[in-house]
Amino acid sequence: MPKGTNQKFKLYRLAQIMQENTDDSHYMTMPEIMVELKKYGITAERKSIYSDLKDLEQMGIEVQGEKTGKYYQYHVVNRPFELAELKLLVDAIQSSKFITERKSNALIKKIEKMVSKYEAMTLQRQVYVSGRIKTMNESIYYTVDAIHNAISENRKIKFQYFQWTEKKEMKLRHGGKYYHISPWGLSWEGQNYYLVGYDSEAEKIKHYRVDKMLHIQVSEEKREGEQHFQQLDMADYAKKSFGMYGGKEQLVKLKIRDTLVGVMIDRFGKDVMIIPEDKGHFIVPVCVYVSRQFLGWVFSLGDSIEILSPPQVVEQMKEESERLFRQYH
C-alpha cells in the first residue's frame, strides 16, 4: 500500500503526541493516535505506527502497550524525571528568592514540557503554593553564568553594586565605581545567592549578593587570593558564616539546654561536638566567624544558650546587650 502523506515529520510528531498526551494514568489507543497525527496533516497505516513506536526507544522514549478489552492502549513510561522529582525542582525554583518571578515562570514552563499535559497541571498548581518575595534583578542568570565562566578561566570580574533607596530605587554604591574581584565560589545562604571572592585592594575575602550585582564583565586579569582559598571548604565556610557577614574566625564555646541539640545539628552538622555538662545541659564548641549576625543568632535562642568563651566574644555579647537595652529604654 502507498505511504501516507507528510511522512517527513511523522516520528517527531508521534513522539510529541505520546509525551504530551500519555503518562502512567493516561493512555491512547491506535485510532486516537492516528487522529492526533492527522491534525498535523500526517496519515499513516497502523503497521507503520507500530514500527515507529518501537523506533521511539532509540530516541530514549519508551512506549508500552497494554491490552484492554479489544484494543491496546499505549503510554510513555520511564521518563528521565519522576513527577515527584519535578515537583521538588518547581518548588525550589519558586521559593528561590534570587530568581525573578518572570524567570521562575519561564523555567517552570520548560519543566512542564518534560511531563504529559495532565501532569503539567499538577506542576502549575504547585507554582501557586507560595507567594514569596522575589528578586527584581532580571540579569541574575547571566551574572551567575559570567561568574562560573570567570572561575573556570581563572580570571577576575568587574561589576557595579547597588542598594535600594527609601524611594525604592536602585542606587549604585561607591558612586558607580566598578568592583574588581577575584571570584572563588558561590554560596546560597539565607535564601540569597552570594559571590565569595578576594578583594586584592582590601586584601581580604568578601561576599556580594549576586542579585545586587550589575553590568558584570570578565576581566583579562588573572585571579588573586589563591592562598586564601586553597584550604577553604566552601560548604564549611558557609556553615561558619552567619548571613554571609565577615568577621574573625574563632573557637566559641557555647552552653546549651538539651532542647537546642537539634538546632545545633541543623546549623553545624552532625559532626558538631556535643559534650554533656550536667543534667539538661551540654557544651558545644564551634568555629564561627564572629559578627553581629552571629550574636543576633545567639540572642534569638533566648536563655537556652550562653557564650562561655572566649572572653572577648563574651564581652561583645555584653556590649551588644547593653546597646539594645539603651536603644529600647
Binned average pLDDT, 10 residues per bin, the chain of 329 residues: 67 95 94 94 91 91 90 92 90 78 87 92 60 64 89 95 84 94 85 86 88 93 87 68 71 95 88 92 93 90 95 95 90
Smallest CA-to-CA distance from 63 within 116, 9, 134 is with 116
Spelled out in words, what is the top-level CATH class assigned to the domain 248-328? Answer: alpha beta
- According to DSSP, the β-strands at 275-278 and 281-290 are antiparallel
| Whole-number Å distance between alpha carbons of 292 and 18 | 57
Smallest CA-to-CA distance from 199 within 214, 187, 184 is with 184
Predicted local confidence at residue 127, as pLDDT: 47
| Whole-number Å distance between alpha carbons of 263 and 252 | 16
Query: Would you say 254 and 186 are in contact if contact means Cβ atoms under 8 Å apart?
Result: no
Smallest CA-to-CA distance from 123 within 161, 145, 91, 151 is with 91
For the chain, the structural domain boundaries read 10-77, 83-127, 140-229, 248-328
Question: What are the tens digits of pLDDT across the range 234-248?
Answer: 667 766 777 656 667
| Whole-number Å distance between alpha carbons of 217 and 184 | 15
* φ, ψ dihedrals at 154, nearest 5°: 60, 45
Query: Would you say 222 and 155 are in contact if contact means Cβ atoms under 8 Å apart?
Result: yes
The three cell numbers of residue 299 are 540572642
Question: What are the tens digits of pLDDT across the range 2-49?
Answer: 556 667 889 999 999 999 999 999 999 999 999 999 999 998 889 999
Is CATH 1.10.10.10 what the domain over 10-77 is classified as, yes or no?
A: yes
Strand partners for 278: 281
CB contact burial 82-101 (16+ within 10 A = b; e otherwise): ebeebbebbeebbebebbbe
Predicted local confidence at residue 136, as pLDDT: 65
Amino acid at 325: F
Q: What angle do CA 86, 89, 91 make, to 5 degrees?
A: 110
* φ, ψ dihedrals at 224, nearest 5°: -125, 170
Do the domains at 10-77 and 140-229 have one common CATH topology? Answer: no
Query: Would you say 206 and 181 are in contact if contact means Cβ atoms under 8 Å apart?
Result: yes
Q: Which residues contact 55 (CB under 8 A, 6 or more apart)?
A: 11
Smallest CA-to-CA distance from 246 within 208, 191, 276 is with 208
Smallest CA-to-CA distance from 5 within 35, 44, 31, 34 is with 44
Predicted local confidence at residue 282, as pLDDT: 95
Query: Would you say 191 and 97 are in contact if contact means Cβ atoms under 8 Å apart?
Result: yes
CATH topology of domain 140-229: SH3 type barrels. (2.30.30)
